[in-house]
Chain A
Amino acid sequence: KNQVEQSPQSLIILEGKNCTLQCNYTVSPFSNLRWYKQDTGRGPVSLTIMTFSENTKSNGRYTATLDADTKQSSLHITASQLSDSASYICVVGSGNTGKLIFGQGTTLQVKP
């Protein structure tokens, strides 16, 4: 069964600190992996997209990594800001159906 599992479920950090969110998937065949940021009560916004051949991609203070062998991805946030408080969703694209499988998200709270 195609699944995407994220950890931790929630996280609280102090402003200025770094953090790393994890995503494990069992989607096969794999096509691509995306990270989205979703503010409360809003729609998700794309942060990064990585295909099989890419193992790292950055978007400002956000850096995503992909290990296709272990089927793991991480999203590293550097020098966190209060505006980083949101839910971060890992999404994996299936290579044969084209469908997207969504993780349940990690809720990040950045405190001053």
Chain B
Amino acid sequence: DGGITQSPKYLFRKEGQNVTLSCEQNLNHDAMYWYRQDPGQGLRLIYYSQIVNDFQKGDIAEGYSVSREKKESFPLTVTSAQKNPTAFYLCASSESFYSGANVLTFGAGSRLTVL
């Protein structure tokens, strides 16, 4: 089955620790995205990548970092600099970056809780 796999599903972190969320896609999509979802708010864009070895900051990139060394993979690191990291994180991909009516395919999400 083609799709996006996010892991882990649930993650607990102590304050001051960095954690990395995995995102893998087998859809052969060029563009990949990370969103953050908080209760009562719309999804907010953290980082996006239009192509391998390239990525751009989204609207709330502070305290996060990404890499795109392979087309299939776009891991997100939540660093200790992120002041309020508890949230639901969604990875998505599309054939190309936001062109026309490109459909975003989302992963199942990762829920991060800071203890």
| A positions within 8 Å CB-CB of B | 4, 9, 31-32, 34, 41-46, 49, 51, 89, 93, 97-105
Contacts and interface: CB of A to CB of B under 8 A. Distances in A.
Given A102-B42, A104-B42, A32 B101 contact: yes
Interface of B: 4, 6, 40-45, 90, 92, 97-101, 103-109, 111
B98 A100 contact: yes
29 contacts: A31-B101, A32-B100, A41-B108, A41-B109, A42-B108, A42-B109, A43-B90, A43-B92, A43-B106, A43-B107, A43-B108, A43-B109, A44-B104, A44-B106, A45-B106, A46-B103, A46-B104, A49-B103, A89-B43, A93-B98, A93-B101, A100-B45, A100-B104, A101-B42, A102-B43, A102-B44, A103-B42, A104-B40, A104-B42
Contacts of B105: 46
Given A103-B42, A105-B42, A49 B109 contact: no
A85 B26 CA distance: 29
Main secondary structure of the interface of A (DSSP, over half): strand
Contacts of A41: 108-109, 111
B60 to A, nearest CB: 13
A72 B6 CA distance: 34
Q: 3 closest Cβ contacts across the A-B interface?
A: A43-B106, A98-B98, A102-B42
A9 B40 CA distance: 9
Contact of A31 (B4, B40, B44, B100): B100
Given A41-B111, A43-B6, 4 more contacts: A43-B90, A51-B100, A99-B98, A104-B41
A42 B88 CA distance: 10
Contacts of B104: 44, 46, 100
Nearest to A101: B42
